[in-house]
Amino acid sequence: MAKTDTKKQEKAFNAVLKKARSKWSGDEADELEPIAELVFSFLMWNATARQADTAFGKIMAQVVDLNELRVSLTNEIIEMVGVRYPDASNRIIRMLQSMMEIFEREHDYKMGSLAPRSKREQREYLDTLPGMTPFVAARVALLSFGAHAMPVDDRLLTLLTKAGVFEPGTTPADAEGWLTRQVKAGDAMEAYLALQEWADGQRVTIPSPPKGEVFKSAPVKEEPAKKTKKSATTKKAATTKKVAKKTTKKKIAKKTTKKKTTKKRVAKKK
């Protein structure tokens, strides 16, 4: 995180938090199981609570359960939430990457193994999922496991930077780290919900990410390699076929020559 005047930074944050708390409706987040919270958090990342609520409702109305969502195609899910949903393709691909990895680790689509683990282990599990963002990991850790976390996405970070809390260039992960040192563990839930509602009420333009930084972990696909092997085999087969054809022609030519020679000899005897 870029260097800044700590006292000035704290003063700016306290002013924002005070304003957010004074306007907070007091509405608490719905209780969801961890895997549902993960899906909802991906929908909420760089979007608003209202947008996420609507999109989540549309998804749940069209799938039997979240395991069906896990095996759905990206385009199918985009159609469910709407093609105009903010950064739809990027967030859906990320979400599916994380869900697939959870299934690989758990042999189930739910995160059943996390409940008995320590808060640190739970956060590490979430942070290391392919496609994961700091905001989603922090939000699931806070809402599902009661961790000390302050979820920050690009929308909230942009507003806090504008308010003088952070310097331009600060990352969401660095911002979260600083905020958790300012807000006590017991106050984290209320502080986050108040800040989220405050951010939702404002229009925010998020800077586009640099090229090549779309995914934390790129999907692994070896289809091109398979195609190369296949084409090589096809080439080999085609060559063998050509050789076979040439050989056949040669044999036929020899037979024809023999036949002609025999006819000439018979003619001489006559």
What CATH number did the domain enclosing 20 receive? 1.10.340.30
pLDDT 10s digits, 9-44: 999 999 999 999 999 999 999 999 999 999 999 999
Q: How far is CA 225 from the centre of its chain?
A: 24
Phi, psi dihedral angles at 193 (to 5 degrees) = -60, -40
- Determine, yes or no, domain membership for 99: yes
- Determine, yes or no, domain membership for 215: no
- Determine, yes or no, domain membership for 269: yes
Report the pLDDT value the prediction gives residue 222, as an integer from 0 to 100.
Answer: 35
Report the pLDDT value the prediction gives residue 88, as an integer from 0 to 100.
Answer: 96
Based on the structure, what is the number of domains in the chain? Answer: 2
Residues 51 and 37: their CA atoms lie apart, in Å, by 15
Whether residue 245 sits in one domain with residue 148 = no
Residues 233 and 265: their CA atoms lie apart, in Å, by 49
Mean residue pLDDT across the chain:
83
Whether residue 262 sits in one domain with residue 136 = no
CB 142 within 8 A of CB 123: no
Residue 260 has pLDDT above 80, yes or no: no
Looking at 153, 169, 200, which one is the last position of a domain? 200
pLDDT-derived band of residue 241, with 50, 70 and 90 as boundaries?
A: very low
**In one letter, which amino acid is 37?**
E
Q: Work out the burial of residue 190: count CB atoms within 10 Å of its CB; fewer than 13 is exposed, 13-18 middle, 19 or more buried.
A: middle
CB 159 within 8 A of CB 204: yes
- Determine, yes or no, domain membership for 87: yes
Whether residue 165 sits in one domain with residue 134 = yes
Whether residue 46 sits in one domain with residue 176 = yes
Residues 48 and 63: their CA atoms lie apart, in Å, by 23
Residues 179 and 188: their CA atoms lie apart, in Å, by 9
- Determine, yes or no, domain membership for 47: yes
Residues 174 and 110: their CA atoms lie apart, in Å, by 29
Residues 58 and 92: their CA atoms lie apart, in Å, by 14
Report the pLDDT value the prediction gives residue 208, as an integer from 0 to 100.
Answer: 63
Whether residue 241 sits in one domain with residue 193 = no
Residues 199 and 193: their CA atoms lie apart, in Å, by 10
- Determine, yes or no, domain membership for 53: yes
pLDDT 10s digits, 111-141: 999 999 999 999 999 999 999 999 999 999 9
pLDDT 10s digits, 186-223: 999 999 999 999 999 999 888 665 444 444 434 433 33
- Determine, yes or no, domain membership for 216: no
Direct distance between the N- and C-terminal alpha carbons of the chain, in angstroms, rounded to an integer:
110
pTM score of the predicted model:
0.77
Structure-token pair, residue 104: 């690989």
Whether residue 155 sits in one domain with residue 262 = no
Higher pLDDT, 260 or 87: 87
Which range of residues forms the domain containing residue 262? 223-270
The maximal CA–CA distance of the chain, rounded, in angstroms, is 125
* Mean pLDDT on 261-266: 40
pLDDT 10s digits, 160-169: 999 999 999 9
